[in-house]
Amino acid sequence: MEADFVIVGAGSAGCAMAYRLGEAGASIIVIEEGGSDIGPFIQMPGALSYPMNMPLYDWGLSSEPEPHLGNRRLATPRGRVIGGSSSINGMVYVRGHARDFDHWADQGAQGWSYADVLPYFRRMEHSHGAHSDYRGTDGPLHITRGPRSNPLFDAFIEAGRQAGYPVTDDYNGAAQEGFGPMEATIWKGRRWSAANAYLRPAMARGNVTLVRGLARRVVIAEGRATGVEVARRGGVEVISARREVVLAASSINSPKLLMLSGIGPANHLAEHGLPVIADRPGVGANLQDHLEVYMQFASRQPITLYKYWNLIGKGMIGAQWLFTKTGLGASNQFEACGFIRSRAGVDYPDIQYHFLPIAVRYDGKAAAEGHGFQAHVGPMRSPSRGEVRLRSADPAAPPMIRFNYMSTDQDWQDFRACIRLTREVFGQAAMAPFVKHEIQPGPGHETDAEIDAFIRDHAESAYHPCGTARMGRRDDPMAVVDPECRVIGVDGLRLADSSIFPRITNGNLNGPSIMVGEKAADHILGRSPLAPLNLPPVVAEDWQTAQR
């Protein structure tokens, strides 16, 4: 088997690249270990808590014991299915802040400033909720907004306004800062994953082929990647690339695959008896993520989704969705959000809110108190850094993942601010008809020490790992790929997924991961990038002296 390009991973970036490379007339083989995404657990937005907890769709990874979080092992779901993590995520669509991408460029990712990436966000989007020069209207990725029919959504946004924050009509447009409607990759009541948006249309053209199998290593001959060794159908075979091999296997599995192929920190590779083809100490380093806690409140009124949290209620929602693709099952229920700054002197938001009209965990366990609601809140730019390392030279073995969460004083300061600022928002008049009392953290969590204890016991990953093969200048010893996504030290090999982020973006990572795939495709094809678009972001004028 051979093709012009072999892509490892049918996830957010991989699907986008397959679509654009195939559109240009090249032949593509996409290698994906996971199986079909057909079925209501993935396609029904309201069922989002199921696929990320199902071994059928998830790699089932977890961190090593985290020393600053009571040695807890935190779940690290990654999609093992067509569409990758875009098939098991919460479907929240956030591009990131303009300053995030300007920071990338400052760190050596030349050509990836906000002006450079904005045309790619526009190319990929079909925005149905917001329309402005910042937004795209004819791309493959449909972006919609929920109906916000539950009064709690608008009450949350109004509480933010009453607390002194801006209201933003489009956090993916000019102004991210503020409270407003949340956007989602949902279209006609279905999860609009990268598989639905990109891979299926690409395969329908006839020059993109999907191959199921576990990528074991990149085959490198005389310093050039020539194919990928794959375990499938009980044997091992090589799928050859006439032009290039492209890794898009996630920020956990892409660095693992590089190391298994002899590209990574020389000492670590030697520990596992692997030949060193390129000594790149940055492979697996710079691991970042978003942590969050669920601030939960009991409801005075029986208007939350708790009334459907039983077999009959879930059955009714599921039946309505199956037959009409409408109703509560057609929304991810993340329909209102907020982006704020933690303190004066922070120039753009570093705290994100997802509001949900039920008090429930990601794994689907509801709060014991019945009717309630919650805000997921956490800092956006933690200074903590972790790493991904090989557990063994066996390609089937899961890697060792150490996030090193909450390892700096700044992490704790920022997280305390999250909790105190959230309490202030929920204390506004707009929430008074709905807030009965705080469930979690609850009374007895007022001092720094008490809040820290709560964080230590309850902080969870928002499932946004990135940065483990960061992009930078070719002479930067810790860079893994150059600004054209070429792996430094090996010819014919590129990497394009959230691994290459120099620093984590503000918000959920599906949007920027797809953008990386879109832009990388132009680099792979040798095209001139889309012309920069100089539309400045709105930034609070008094950010140096005021928190809001």
Three-class HEC string of 2-24: EEEEEEECCCHHHHHHHHHHHHC
- Catalytic amino acids? 464
Q: Quickly list DSSP for 428-478.
A: SGGGTTTEEEEEES-TT--SHHHHHHHHHHH-EE-S--B-TT-B--TT-TT
pLDDT tens string 322-362: 999 999 999 999 999 999 999 999 999 999 999 999 998 76
pTM of the entire structure? 0.98
Reply yes or no on whether the pLDDT at 437 is more than 90. Answer: yes
Reply yes or no on whether the pLDDT at 127 is more than 70. Answer: yes
Q: Please check whether residue 279 is in contact with residue 265, taking contact to mean a CB–CB distance below 8 angstroms.
A: yes
Q: Please check whether residue 397 is in contact with residue 444, taking contact to mean a CB–CB distance below 8 angstroms.
A: no
Tell me if 89 is assigned to a ligand binding site: yes
pLDDT tens string 305-326: 999 999 999 999 999 999 999 9
What value does the mean pLDDT take over residues 259-263?
98
Tell me if 91 is assigned to a ligand binding site: yes
| Coil vs helix vs strand at 62 | strand
**Could you give phi then psi for residue 192, rounded to 5 degrees?**
-100, 75
pLDDT tens string 505-514: 999 999 999 9
What value does the mean pLDDT take over residues 200-205?
98
Peptide bond into 483 cis (omega under 30): no
Measured distance CA(14)–CA(286) in Å, rounded: 22
User: In percent, how much of the chain has pLDDT > 90?
Assistant: 97
Instruction: Report residue 347 as tokens.
Output: 């120039």
Sorted by where each starts, the structural domains of the chain and their CATH numbers stand as 1-129+184-288+386-398+465-526 (3.50.50.60), 147-181+291-379+407-458 (3.30.410.40)
Measured distance CA(468)–CA(198) in Å, rounded: 25
Reply yes or no on whether the pLDDT at 245 is more than 80. Answer: yes
pLDDT at 362 (0 to 100) = 66
Instruction: Report residue 430 as tokens.
Output: 């707009």
pLDDT at 320 (0 to 100) = 97
Q: Which amino acid appears at position 440 of this protein? A: Q
pLDDT at 541 (0 to 100) = 96
Tell me the pLDDT band of 12, cut-offs 50, 70 and 90: very high
